Amino acid sequence: MSVSLSYHRIGQGAPLVLLHGFPLDGAFWNPILPYLREHFDCIVPDLRGFGASPLTEPGYTLEEMAADLSALLVELDISAAFLAGHSMGGYIALAFARCFNDQLLGLALLGTQAAPDAPERRQLRYETIEQVRRDGIAPVLGMAEKLTFDLRHTPSLRQIIQRQHPVGVMGALQAMAERPDALPGLATLTVPVVIVHGLQDGLVPVERARQMHAVLPQAYLLELPGVGHSPPYEAPEQTAQAVIRLVKDG
């Protein structure tokens, strides 16, 4: 069952839903919004379990998180939209493409991947769930350093992480651990796709972006030197220019 998401909305143009990564909320997109708002009607939700959106008990899937977005578009009377997903938000965007293709105009995949977790990565997520269950948000605060190559961004990212709820963090960790391989579905996409990845991404290697591009050679791939896991936060203007290609190429 879908939940009603908290969101804010800014800009004019084609609808673009911005899906934040883990363990963040819609404020992650603040640096890039000035560059996107002239081209898009930007809809910025807090995903299920994060920010001001409702908490639900862990056990939900990325497909259910995608259903939340489908319901939001219906609520806003938007028949179809572009989606931009960062990291976990990219996983949800790919789930949306599988489940709600008729509501999709195009995809921007930012610092993300289509491949599923390797077994050791999946096990690490389950271990982190137990740590969060025991210790609260503290075990994921160190993510702030991993989300960016330029450590000047770390304090502001840490502030976003600190305000998240342990239940939402645990739910997202489980959903990510259990996500399917999205690579086979990529080849069936007919909408415009852009892929943006930092060459210094320490969480998702750039090879994962190239892997997606190999399946979708018509997609636009932008690799950013000196940028880590969060292109929209670390290189907002360059990332926005790539996202804007969705409406130009579409």
**pLDDT tens digits, 228-246:** 999 999 999 999 999 999 9
Band (pLDDT 50/70/90 cuts) for residue 249 is low
Asked if the model's pLDDT at residue 145 lies above 90, the reply is: yes
- Give the mean pLDDT of 33-40: 98
Share of the chain above pLDDT 90, in %: 98
Nearest to 168 by CA among 20, 57, 19, 42: 57
pLDDT tens-digit series, residues 49-72: 999 999 999 999 999 999 999 999
Output the pTM of the full model. 0.97
What per-residue confidence (pLDDT) applies to 248? 82
pLDDT tens-digit series, residues 96-126: 999 999 999 999 999 999 999 999 999 999 9
Could you give the CA distance from residue 245 to residue 67 in angstroms, rounded to a whole number? 26
Share of the chain above pLDDT 70, in %: 99
Instruction: Report strand pairing: 193-198 vs 14-19.
Output: unpaired
Is CATH 3.40.50.1820 what the domain over 7-249 is classified as, yes or no? yes
Locate 64 and state its tokens: 């259910």
The single residue listed with the structure tokens 């195009």 is: 106
Q: 10 Å Cβ neighbour count for 55? A: 15
- Considering the chain, what is the average pLDDT of its residues? 97
| Burial track 174-194 (b if 16+ CB lie within 10 A, e otherwise) | bbbbbbbebbebbeebeebbb
Q: 10 Å Cβ neighbour count for 15? A: 19
- Give the mean pLDDT of 3-10: 97
What per-residue confidence (pLDDT) applies to 218? 93
Band (pLDDT 50/70/90 cuts) for residue 250 is low
Q: How far is CA 231 from CA 90, 113, 121, 181, 223, in A?
A: 13, 14, 22, 23, 10
- The amino acid present at 108, given as its one-letter code, is A
Asked if the model's pLDDT at residue 202 lies above 80, the reply is: yes
